[in-house]
Amino acid sequence: MTLLKTSVLSFIATAVKMLAALVINKAVAVLVGPSGLALMGQLQNFIQIAMTAGQGGINQGVVKHTAEYSVENKTTSALFSTATVISFFTAVSAGIIVCVFSGQLADYFLKNRDYTYIFILFGFSIIFFVLNQLLLSIINGLKEIKVFISINIVQSVFSLIFTLVMIYWLGLEGVFIAMVTNQSIILLVLIWAIRHHALIKLSAFRKRVDKIEAKKLFKFSAMTLTSAAVAPISHLIVRDYLGNNLSWQEAGYWQAIWYISSMYLMVVTTTLGIYYLPKLAELTSKKEIKKELINGYKIILPIVILMAMLIYFLRELIIQVLFSKEFIPMAELFKWQLIGDVIKLASWLLSYVMLAKAMTKLFITTEIVFSIGFVLLAKYLVSQYGLNGVTYAYALNYSVYFIVVAFITLNYLRNKKSALMFK
């Protein structure tokens, strides 16, 4: 399937997911305002970190190696079995840790120990999150794009219905409960959808752990865990800084603008995950890799620029539709946030080469350095310019990141040996 076709199908799936998320976000914004939205952002960041830890950080490795092995039953079976054992062990371990420290987590993330039970629920349900994502990664690696997207659409609809019911019954607590339990429901949807699949069947998961496959997956684990930890942690630190030094109202404005960025960029990042990672992973010719990158810039970057421009000119309407009039002061954040979004996507197209080719040291180093850079820039620029400073920091940090990953990618394409030394 071509990049263009994948982009169109991804857009459909993302549009459904985005609509579901927007409806939920609107309900929360109207119900509890900016401060409640900020707390929801804190819980989302925690779930991202815990989920990746629970997965062992191996899912992108599963996508890559499933794409490489294609339909070689013996090799894929060894990969699937090994990935399942790793995922089960890490999910159970993460769940136990979350339950043990549930009180402290409630205090830190939701500012209220009364929400301890939310984290206990998550500790018990994380295994379902992990299994759901593992199975989706296998489908993605098999390049069954239509199946992958169809399942994602159905799961988004189920999540929306479940969350709205919980909001209706329990308000903000219902949102928190839905956030930590909905994968338990949508896993059943996924299992039903693949019940007759030729490769994804119980017998393919019964082999012993393969040490070679485990080693390959753990190489990705290091990269994914780093990426999934440092980005949400940097956001937690920045949001906490804004809440404590400006106000939680203003922290809520930043959460809202970040939410808008995440929603419209999801159209593109979904395509990158579905198409780019398995495609770049299977390519061995530097000429072909360069061709895919050029196609990405021709197709994806203009779409991002157009969306960013539309959002900027319609920003006040978007704020009132997605949130409420209480959020109007955030309109001044749009300009540099959207500029940062465009630069971010331009750099991500290049950084996927590092991920697909398992340039472990380089990937981990850039992720850590630029997450720390964002926190330091945000604190300094917020102290100088107020809330606008956080968007200045975002755009500036990704501008430097783009230069660095462009250098790394060009170096890889010109001289493969020099890039491989960093693996």
Most confident of 44-58, 339-353, 381-395: 381-395
93-118 pLDDT, tens per residue? Answer: 999 999 999 999 998 888 788 899 99
Task: Check residue 93 and give its pLDDT.
Answer: 92
Confidence band for 419, pLDDT divided at 50, 70 and 90: very low
What's the pLDDT score for residue 422? 44
- In this structure, of 94-98, 146-150, 401-405, the range with the lowest mean pLDDT score is 146-150
Cα 176 to chain centroid, rounded:
19
Residue 374: per-residue pLDDT: 94
User: Taking CA 70 as the corner, what is the angle to CA 408 and CA 297, rounded to the nearest 5 degrees?
Assistant: 35
Give the pLDDT confidence score for residue 122 in this predicted structure.
92
pLDDT band at 32 (very low <50, low <70, confident <90, very high): low
Give the lowest-confidence range in 260-274, 340-354, 364-378.
260-274
Residue 3's pLDDT band, with cuts at 50, 70 and 90, is low
State the helix-helix crossing angle for 248-271 and 286-313, rounded to 10 degrees. 140
What is the residue-averaged pLDDT of the chain? Answer: 81
The average pLDDT across 188-201 equals 78
pLDDT tens for each residue of 239-282: 889 988 888 888 888 988 988 888 788 777 776 666 666 677 66
Structure confidence at residue 394 (pLDDT): 95
What 265-269 contacts at long range (C-beta under 8 Å, 24+ apart), as own/partner pairs, is: 265/304, 265/341, 265/344, 265/345, 266/14, 266/17, 266/18, 267/10, 267/11, 267/14, 267/15, 267/18, 267/303, 267/307, 268/300, 268/303, 268/304, 268/345, 269/345, 269/348
What is the percent of the chain with per-residue pLDDT over 90, rounded to a whole number? 20
Structural domain boundaries in the chain? 3-420
Distances (CA, A) of 87 to 31, 102, 208, 264: 37, 22, 14, 30
Signed CA dihedral, 314, 245, 25, 157: sign only? positive
Helix (H, G, I), strand (E, B) or coil at 197: coil
Confidence of residue 51 (pLDDT cuts 50, 70, 90): confident
Confidence (pTM)? 0.66
For range 140-146, the mean pLDDT: 75
